[in-house]
Amino acid sequence: DAGVIQSPRHEVTEMGQEVTLRCKPISGHDYLFWYRQTMMRGLELLIYFNNNVPIDDSGMPEDRFSAKMPNASFSTLKIQPSEPRDSAVYFCASSQGAEAFFGQGTRLTVV
Partner 1 sequence: QKEVEQDPGPLSVPEGAIVSLNCTYSNSAFQYFMWYRQYSRKGPELLMYTYSSGNKEDGRFTAQVDKSSKYISLFIRDSQPSDSATYLCAINAGGTSYGKLTFGQGTILTVHP
* Longest Cα separation, the chain: 38
Residues 11-50, mask of contacts with partner 1 (x by CB under 8 A): --------------------x-x--------xx-x--x-x
Q: Is 98 in the site for partner 1 (CB under 8 A)?
A: yes
Nearest of 7, 53, 1 to residue 27 by alpha carbon? 1
**Shortest Cβ distance from residue 91 to partner 1 (Å)?**
6
Q: Give the amino acid at 69.
A: M
- Answer for which of 1, 56, 109, 111 binds partner 1 (CB under 8 A) is 56
Measured between alpha carbons, how far is 9 from 28 in angstroms, rounded to an integer? 24
Of the pair 74, 101, the CB lying nearest partner 1 is at: 101
Q: Does 74 engage in binding with partner 1 (CB under 8 A)?
A: no
Asked if residue 100 binds partner 1 (CB under 8 A), the reply is: yes
**Residue 101 sits in the site that holds partner 1 (CB under 8 A):** yes
Residues 6+ apart with CB under 8 A from 43: 35, 36, 37, 91
Query: Strand 88-95 and strand 31-38: pairing?
Result: antiparallel
